[in-house]
Structure 1
């Protein structure tokens, strides 16, 4: 059952999986996506590996607060370096930090995908004592590193859908372009989750404001170089939306980070890779806990 947390002047909706005595792991979702895009089976796999899992809707996504009064941003102005964002990744990191406070967690392990990886990186830089380990998946320290291919950018910037059925078709088309070509496309799951996300809250302007936050936030490379936190970087070798250069740059910036890449993987988490990805996260979090005890 989802709960609401008042944080940072807004409300964040979240869910938990597993016993609270497990290793606390916050899962941070990417651009325009909702917590339900973290599949429940994947969350349960992480629970089976010893975690207390928390997934949540970022601001401007799902059932968390939407900043509709800010209106639709001018994305082109951000691309040309003159944009004004309603908020930045710093604010979204502070949302996550506030959620930790509500949960009564002095610190936690973080795992974020795409924009979620950027938020996790930002939080680790801003509040390193609150971060036990960092897993950055299909992300980058700077959107200019690993810039999307033209086809992926076209999918990202395609017009919003006028209704539920069109939203599902749009999602199927998008994932056929940016999803993992080396693995079967789960059309049934994409359609089901897209429909559920539409029913929870369909807000293309919210996703655009999130994109504006990504484009207007500072390069995190220098901040990552100052980190002393166990880190894992996971990236698909065929990712067209954030190309693998982004993952390599993240791993190179964090001292001691492990870089794990998968051929055939693009900008999603294929079910066939869940055991390897969940296992790598669990290996990282367990090692970080041992280091803390030692």
Structure 2
């Protein structure tokens, strides 16, 4: 993968490079990443984002705060309707359940941060996931995306439906959809050998 790619945007529940105040939104994360890209001189770069990171990548491209060469959004919602099954999951997930499912993520977080407070981070993240206003998911603004977009979806993703990924692809002119059978929400971690060749091919095609 070529050097012009910006660092992949991580999924916030595994790190603390975020705002954990009472009003945390995806717009806050987008502004933080845009500042980082500008500061590091990575304007001529592509963005790969997974889950929350994918939502941030979509918001960035739609707002045109930066002009990425391409965006790859993996397992990312562009809208979250009130009747979306994922919203019910977010409403019922607890810190204890998260620890049981992603204990290794929390261990990494605790090791990397001098003053870790995963409970505070988790509360802020769940509030952000359940957001409904203009500071939450990008929604119809994705129509403003002008750079090449690859939507990556795992067919067994319990959070992001196949229809959600398809609809996002239909909203953005020229967007491509990669739907991988038997893949889960964590497909980049679970099966990188199956996913990365497609990502590399997409990047090569759109950056020639």
| Partner residue, 2:160 | 242
| Distance in 2 separating the partners of 1:271 and 1:89 | 23
Q: 1:240 to 1:173 in 2, by over 3 A?
A: same
Q: 1:59 to 1:272 in 2, by over 3 A?
A: closer
> Residue 135 of structure 1: SS of its match in structure 2?
strand
How far 1:113 sits from its partner (Å)?
A: 1.2
| Distance in 1 separating the partners of 2:152 and 2:28 | 24
| Distance in 1 separating the partners of 2:98 and 2:57 | 25
CA contact (8 A) 2:156 2:181 kept: yes
CA contact (8 A) 1:29 1:58 kept: no
| Distance in 1 separating the partners of 2:90 and 2:25 | 21
Segments of structure 2 that go 5 or more residues without pairing to the other structure are: none
| Partner residue, 1:194 | 106
| Distance in 1 separating the partners of 2:90 and 2:33 | 28
* Superposition CA RMSD, Å: 2.7
CA contact (8 A) 2:46 2:70 kept: yes
Segments of structure 1 that go 5 or more residues without pairing to the other structure are: 1-17, 35-56, 61-65, 71-85, 162-169, 175-189
> Residue 5 of structure 2: SS of its match in structure 1?
strand
| Partner residue, 1:140 | 77
Q: How many residues align?
A: 201
Within the candidate set 59, 70, 73, 1:122 is matched to 59
TM-score in terms of structure 1 length:
0.60
How far 1:146 sits from its partner (Å)?
A: 4.9
Choose between structure 1 and 2: higher strand proportion.
1
CA contact (8 A) 1:146 1:243 kept: no
| Partner residue, 1:204 | 119
TM-score in terms of structure 2 length:
0.81
| Distance in 2 separating the partners of 1:97 and 1:113 | 16
